[in-house]
Amino acid sequence: MFNELFTELKVYLKAVKAKVLPQITQFQKTKETAVLETQGLTDTAILDIFPHNEHIDLRLQLCKYMALESSLMLSKENLQTIWGEVITNNPLVGDHSIVYNWLRSLLNEMLKNSTDRLVNEKSLIEFFKVQIQSGSSDYTNLSI
């Protein structure tokens, strides 16, 4: 079930990139300029009547809901897919915040209910270990 959701997320983000990246490169004189230009896009309905940030947030909340209300659990690979698609391969800075907040809510839910029903604790630790060891700038610059 998660695979279909992640495939749809990839398709959506690919369509967003196709529409938005030309706009970004038009303004991309410096990295700072590109960041400033993309911050306002999260509240814009890029491909549909819903704002883009709602598209991303709703997909992530659905993942969390499915893990809470079913026997499905998010795996390390699922977390890596979300991280890769929405953070590493995505120039829209506002999307990054949505994922960081979602991860925080996931961890808070696990702590609050003393459960690892959402994601296996071992998988979660392994996911963060890989992020730290890879030294990827999108993780090492993160402060929560």
Cβ contacts of 31 within 8 Å, gap of 6 or more: none
pLDDT in tens, the chain (144 residues): 778 888 888 888 888 777 766 665 554 444 444 444 444 454 455 555 567 788 888 889 988 888 888 888 888 888 889 988 888 888 777 888 899 899 888 888 888 877 666 787 788 888 888 877 876 656 555 554
CA 85 – CA 45 distance, rounded (Å): 19
Which phi and psi (to 5°) does residue 49 adopt?
A: -80, -15
* SS3 state at 50: coil
Cβ contacts of 123 within 8 Å, gap of 6 or more: 73, 74, 75, 76, 79
Residue ranges per domain, the chain?
A: 2-140
Question: Model pTM?
Answer: 0.70
* SS3 state at 29: coil
